[in-house]
């Protein structure tokens, strides 16, 4: 009979998996993810044209723990240079890293050692009964429950009020193929104009004749146009691309992805995770700052805390 405390983690993004990696040897850890695979905002979509990253385009590493994590998962240096059109200067990318098979590939290998359940969207957490209810009709009991969801989504399913200063901006991303002759000096461009905050090459993941790129709208424009049609977004996208990348080419759009809760603002609470009760916690980059490493630190620190206090 399994006597280890049972921990249910909601979400298989960076913070959820970082937490599970700390805990799984000491607890019975179960991860439930609403999507078909790992990643969260390390989102990558594969189409017949190639692999497109609609979430984080790269990550940086300041702590030794996260540097080791990236090394263990075959992170590669960001390919090429990045240019800030607002300051008219190149950005130092020596500490930018990507996953060789996509940003989500940092997490894919852990399917083999962690107990993950996919296509399971949590819709309610009953903290009195210690039950999680899923859209599928399934339920799962727990001793400890951990949300690695964006704060607004966690607030929707937990009965307890989650007090935090986190705020979020939406983000609209667009994948494209530039078919023809292009002349671009850099592999990424930031702050192109008030509408576009990022335009980056995906050729690192898609070797071939055609140029594959991902564009991300600015937080303000994403907020204003989150409900706009794809056609109207493509018009704005085309203008920005043609202004930035010279040459004779045709823009072929390969998909639009809309994040409702994308970019969090830096927290002033100086807490790496949030305690809702003795048996319920919330983790994620929003506890610290809008960086992939912050998500890793948040999950890892809660894991450390639970090992020290509950095992």
Distances (CA, A) of 212 to 3, 159, 204, 253: 51, 44, 9, 10
Nearest Cα to 78, choosing from 63, 86, 64, 90?
A: 90
Query: Above 90 in pLDDT, residue 163?
Result: no
Give the model's pLDDT for residue 101. Answer: 84
6-167+272-310 and 169-263 agree in CATH topology = no
pLDDT tens for 69-104 read 999 999 999 888 999 999 999 999 999 999 888 899
Give the model's pLDDT for residue 80. Answer: 86
What is the arithmetic mean of pLDDT over 162-184? 92
Dihedral angle of Cα 90, 14, 72, 109, to the nearest 10 degrees: -130
Q: Which residues are within 8 A (CB) of 171 and not within 5 positions of it... i.e. 6 or more apart?
A: 216, 217, 219, 222, 258, 259, 262, 263
Give the integer Cα–Cα distance in Å for 141 and 131. 4
Q: Cβ distance 6 to 140 under 8 Å?
A: no
Dihedral angle of Cα 12, 13, 14, 19, to the nearest 10 degrees: -30
Give the integer Cα–Cα distance in Å for 74 and 57. 16
Distances (CA, A) of 10 to 14, 63, 87, 220: 12, 25, 40, 29
Average per-residue pLDDT in the chain? 93
- Domain-by-domain residue ranges, the chain? 6-167+272-310, 169-263
Query: Above 50 in pLDDT, residue 226?
Result: yes
Give the model's pLDDT for residue 164. Answer: 92
Give the integer Cα–Cα distance in Å for 298 and 140. 24
* Coil, helix or strand at residue 153: helix
Query: Above 80 in pLDDT, residue 207?
Result: no
Percent of the chain with pLDDT over 70: 99
Is CATH 3.90.660.10 the right assignment for the domain spanning 169-263? yes
Query: Above 60 in pLDDT, residue 1?
Result: no
Q: Cβ distance 112 to 17 under 8 Å?
A: no
Give the integer Cα–Cα distance in Å for 236 and 223. 15
Give the integer Cα–Cα distance in Å for 128 and 70. 39
Where helices occur in the chain by DSSP H, the ranges are 14-23, 64-72, 105-108, 151-157, 219-225, 230-244, 292-310
Q: At what angle do helices 14-23 and 292-310 cross, to 10 degrees?
A: 30
Give the model's pLDDT for residue 44. Answer: 78
Least confident of 119-133, 135-149, 154-168: 154-168
Give the model's pLDDT for residue 301. Answer: 98
Least confident of 24-28, 201-205, 281-285, 304-308: 201-205
Q: Cβ distance 11 to 151 under 8 Å?
A: no
6-167+272-310 folds as FAD/NAD(P)-binding domain (3.50.50)
pLDDT tens for 227-256 read 999 999 999 999 999 999 999 999 999 889
**Other CB atoms closer than 10 Å to residue 277's CB: what's the count?**
12
Could you say which DSSP state residue 158 is in?
B
What is the arithmetic mean of pLDDT over 269-289? 95
Six-digit token string for 23: 């805990």
Q: Cβ distance 290 to 264 under 8 Å?
A: yes
2 band by pLDDT with thresholds 50, 70 and 90? low
Query: Above 50 in pLDDT, residue 271?
Result: yes
């Amino acid at each position: 009979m399994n006597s280890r405390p049972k921990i249910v983690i909601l979400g298989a993004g960076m913070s959820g998996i970082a937490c599970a990696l700390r805990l799984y040897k000491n607890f019975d850890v179960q991860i439930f993810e609403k999507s078909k695979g790992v990643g969260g905002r390390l989102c990558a979509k594969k189409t017949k044209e190639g692999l497109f990253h609609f979430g984080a385009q790269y990550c940086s590493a300041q702590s030794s723990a996260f540097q080791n994590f990236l090394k263990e998962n075959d992170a590669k240096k960001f390919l090429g240079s990045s240019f800030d059109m607002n300051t008219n200067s190149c950005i130092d990318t020596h500490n930018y890293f990507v996953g060789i098979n996509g940003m989500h590939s940092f997490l894919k290998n852990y399917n083999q050692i962690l107990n993950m359940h996919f296509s399971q969207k949590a819709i309610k957490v009953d903290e009195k009964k210690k039950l999680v209810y899923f859209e599928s009709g399934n339920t799962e009991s727990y001793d400890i429950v951990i949300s690695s969801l964006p704060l607004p989504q966690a607030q929707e399913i937990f009965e307890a009020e989650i007090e935090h200063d986190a705020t979020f901006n939406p983000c609209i991303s667009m994948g494209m193929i530039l078919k023809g002759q292009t002349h671009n000096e850099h592999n990424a461009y930031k702050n192109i104009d008030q509408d576009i905050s990022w335009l980056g090459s995906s050729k690192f993941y898609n070797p071939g004749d055609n140029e594959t790129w991902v564009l991300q709208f600015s937080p303000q424009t994403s907020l204003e146009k989150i409900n706009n049609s794809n056609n109207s977004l493509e018009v704005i996208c085309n203008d920005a691309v043609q202004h930035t990348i010279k040459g004779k080419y045709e823009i072929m759009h390969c998909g639009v992805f809309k994040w409702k809760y994308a970019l969090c603002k830096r927290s002033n609470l100086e807490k790496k995770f949030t305690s809702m009760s003795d048996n319920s916690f919330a983790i994620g980059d929003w506890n610290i700052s809008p960086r992939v490493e912050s998500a890793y630190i948040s999950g890892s620190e809660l894991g450390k805390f639970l090992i020290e206090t509950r095992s």
